[in-house]
Structure 1
Amino acid sequence: FLAYPTTFAIIENLKYFLLKKDPAQPFYIGHTVKSGDLEYVDGEGGIVLSIESLRRLSRIFEDPDKCPEQGGMIWKLSEDKQLAVCLKYTGVIAENAEDSEGKDVFNTKSVNALIKEAMASHPEQVADGCCSDTAITFSGLAPNHMHVMMYGAYRLRPYGHTYSDALVFLPPAGSDND
């Protein structure tokens, strides 16, 4: 998992999301963006690579024609685009991560920005329409906002509120995941 210092990650949600994935299969997941013919995962929201993708990436680094250590056109691109170009040579393509409702789980914006957008486009559904219930990342946060996110995600429990969510975070039967 790769993320910027300004990206807040809820690791439990990341682990839950990855339970459905086979690390022996190549995958490269996050918030996808298209730039010309290149589709890549935006580093702002975080990037997840499977073990197999890392193996393939390691092998392609040995080919200076495809992924040169220095120089070449690839170095004029941003880091996340460089990664996508190298992975494309290995047959690993970017995959957008969404929840069961089609909402992004790797967010390239802060919660504040996402709520403002939701208020502008559909104010009657801000709580439901803003973000995924199983969001993994939010980006663009200053350190003090990280503390607020930590409090909200891990400490705050309204008195008298009964949690009757349908979400159950258990590994699949026969899984050796914790």
Structure 2
Amino acid sequence: MAFVTLLSYGTSVTEILSERPTTTLVITTGEVGSSYGSSSSSSSSSLSSPSGAIAAKSSYPDLFEEVRIVCIVLTYADNRDKATHLKATWGKRCNRLIFISNQDDQDLGAVDIGVEDSHDNLWTKTRQAFSYVYENLLHEGEWFLKADDDTYIVMENLRYLLYGYDAQKPIYFGHKFTYDDNVYMSGGGGYVLSKEALKRFIVDSLNNETLCLKAQPSSEDFEIGKCLTSVGVMPGNSMDPIDYTQRFHPLPLRDYVQPDAMDWLPGWLFNRSLEPIQTGPSCCSEYAISFHYLESKDMYLYDFFLYRMKVHGIEKQLRALPSKISSEIG
């Protein structure tokens, strides 16, 4: 079904579904923080990765400037406090952060796009959000992240994933679901479109009723997945290449890490996830990107453990940047 449409755009489905940048590992004795490099005084040593690759890199380019991401957060006026806490934590690491709401709020950075807030209007709101960004903020990024106001994003790890990919190719990333022979990304776990993917969605798909459902009550993540597929946008592989664990998560971390989590996680997570779900202490990628259904206090908790807390005597292992993918997509 959808795959036939993909092939008509001249792209090999199996190529992009399996394609991911080569990743290597590097150990550095420099301080590990929110930046990507170590100081010139840091020493590094090579380490063989499970794939046999060798890394001996001790510094990185400035990925904040090289992988520019516009963050689009769906919220509403009654959730202003929650949006404020998001802005104070991971939102400040976006190249541009914009809240899509039902009320303008200059201090927060929220824009009223004229859609009444309700769950039934979520697909309408998502369509309008991307249309607004395309018309007003396209020049501010190469990648366009959609998240909810209860989603936490590790922006550095997202840039690390995206570094190997060309934003001029039609691709998007997230936690991959499948339903009714369609592949799409979990809305709650966040998904990110390349600039070319956004252009195809707005220009080629959005107003074509044969390709993209008109605004009406429906699941926004499922519908945008169908719209993107219809114009040859590929669902990229975001699984960790070292241990094949998930990087985007539709649930909070606490739901995955307990040893008995497999017994009580919701059935839809297993039934719809295209790739395997792991639980317990090794449930998630060391370079995890997103978690969903967080309270405001969780935003600060995640921020503390990720960016402030250190464990004396434990050095961090850093992976070298992935290689750029050279094959043609789209």
Q: TM-score, normalised by structure 1?
A: 0.82
Q: 1:158 aligns with which of 311, 316, 321?
A: 311
Q: Are residue 63 (structure 1) and residue 205 (structure 2) matched?
A: no
Q: Judging changes above 3 Å, is the alpha-carbon distance between structure 1 residues 136 and 30 closer, same or farther for their aligned structure 2 residues?
A: same
Task: In structure 1, list runs of 5 or more residues that go unmatched.
Answer: 174-178
Contact map agreement 1:41 1:96 (CA 8 A) in 2: no
Alignment of structure 1 residues 112-131 onto 2, 5 Å: 112-116=254-258, 119-120=259-260, 126-127=280-281, 129-131=282-284
Aligned residue among 19, 28, 37 for 2:163: 19
Greater Cα offset, 61-70 or 42-51: 61-70
Deviations 1:12-50 (A, max 9, x none): 000010011111111021001111122110111110101
- For residues 7 and 158 of structure 1, do their structure 2 counterparts lie closer, same or farther at Cα, with a shift above 3 Å needed? same
Preserved CA contact (<8 Å) 1:11 1:136: yes
Aligned with 2:232 (options 91, 105, 119) = 91
Do 1:7 and 1:44's aligned partners in 2 also have CA atoms closer than 8 Å?
yes
Sequence identity percentage: 29
Shift of 1:121: 6.6
The equivalent residue for 1:102 is: 244
Q: How many Å apart are 1:65 and its aligned residue?
A: 3.7
1:36-47 superposed matches below 5 A: 36-47=180-191
Higher helix share: 1
- Change in Cα spacing, 1:64 to 1:121, as seen in structure 2 (3 Å) is closer
- 1:56 to partner: Cα distance: 0.5
CA contact (8 A) 2:256 2:280 kept: no
Larger Rg: 2
Gapped regions of structure 2 (runs ≥ 5): 1-144, 263-278, 325-330
Deviations 1:148-174 (A, max 9, x none): 1010111101123333x1424x5869x
Equivalent in 287, 294, 297 of residue 141 of structure 1: 294
Give, as a single letter, the amino acid of the residue that structure 1 aligns with 2:309: L
Q: Please, what is the CA RMSD of the aligned residues?
A: 2.2
Aligned to 1:176: none
The secondary structure found in structure 1 opposite 2:158 is helix
When residues 68 and 144 of structure 1 are mapped into structure 2, their CA distance, relative to the original with a 3 A threshold, is: same
The structure that is strand-richer by fraction is 2
**SS of equivalent residue, structure 2 residue 184:** strand
Matched residue of 1:39: which SS? strand
Is the Cα–Cα contact under 8 Å of residues 67 and 86 in structure 1 kept in the other structure?
yes
Question: Which secondary structure does the structure 2 equivalent of 1:14 belong to?
Answer: helix
TM-score normalized with structure 2 length: 0.46
Letter in 1 for 2:319: L
- Higher RCO by CA contacts (8 Å cutoff, separation 6 or greater): 1
Q: Following TM superposition, where does structure 1 have runs of at least 4 consecutive aligned residues deviating by more than 3 angstroms?
A: 170-173
1:76-109: CA deviations, max 9, x gaps?
Answer: 4211111112112201243341111211100111
Q: 1:30 to 1:68 in 2, by over 3 A?
A: closer
